[in-house]
Amino acid sequence: MNVYMICMIVFQVGEASEQDGYTSASFHPHGLLLGTGMTTAVVKIWDMKTQSHVANLKGHVGPVTAMSFSENGYLLATAARDGVRLWDVRKLTNMRTISPYDSGTPTNAVEFDSSGSYLGIGGSDARVYQADKAEWNIIRTLPDLSGTGKVTSLKFGADANYIVVGSMVYNLRIFGLPGDEQMDV
């Protein structure tokens, strides 16, 4: 059985003068905004309704490798070689910078859980932070068991009961709550 999918471009972001590439993207949870990471270390915010570029968030060093909006859309976490920046989307300001690794270790992944209570960061390992207005503390460090020292992606499961971690090997690791077993897929 052959299945054919026909797709059409609904919205294309970009500007005629744009010379740099897109490295990551994330939709705002309400679907009203789109964030895109650039090779130039800039995060661009796009209005989906008007299909226009509305803001630039500057401050990273190197290409923006990953991004994630919090569940209420107030925060945007972005990752690059220099770590993670947390942006207040309502004010378009950088409210906090997290540097989880040394300067030679890039941050490759960042993800809020569905409740906005936790932030996962991936680089030489996977780290889970408690999302809080005042303090952002590490509550769990998960080793990169692949031996490569390069976590490339992570996603939280339902109710943050587990986290899936991808790295430079041909499997995924699923870490559960204390007492649960780790599974390789």
What residue ranges do the domains of the chain occupy? 22-184
Q: Mean pLDDT throughout 86-95?
A: 96
Q: Mean pLDDT throughout 37-50?
A: 94
pLDDT given for residue 88 in this prediction: 96
Q: In this structure, are residues 92 and 78 in contact, taking their beta carbons and an 8 Å threshold?
A: no
Up-side HSE of residue 43: CA atoms within 13 Å toward CB? 33
pLDDT given for residue 178 in this prediction: 66
pLDDT given for residue 185 in this prediction: 40
CATH of domain 22-184: 2.130.10.10
pLDDT given for residue 183 in this prediction: 42
pLDDT given for residue 172 in this prediction: 84
Q: Mean pLDDT throughout 59-70?
A: 95
Residue 44 is classified by DSSP as E
Positive or negative: CA dihedral 177, 130, 29, 82: negative
Residues with Cβ within 8 Å of 79's Cβ and at least 6 positions away in sequence, in order, are 64, 65, 66, 67, 107, 108, 109, 110, 121
Is pLDDT above 80 for 180?
Answer: no
pLDDT given for residue 16 in this prediction: 47
Q: Mean pLDDT throughout 88-109?
A: 93
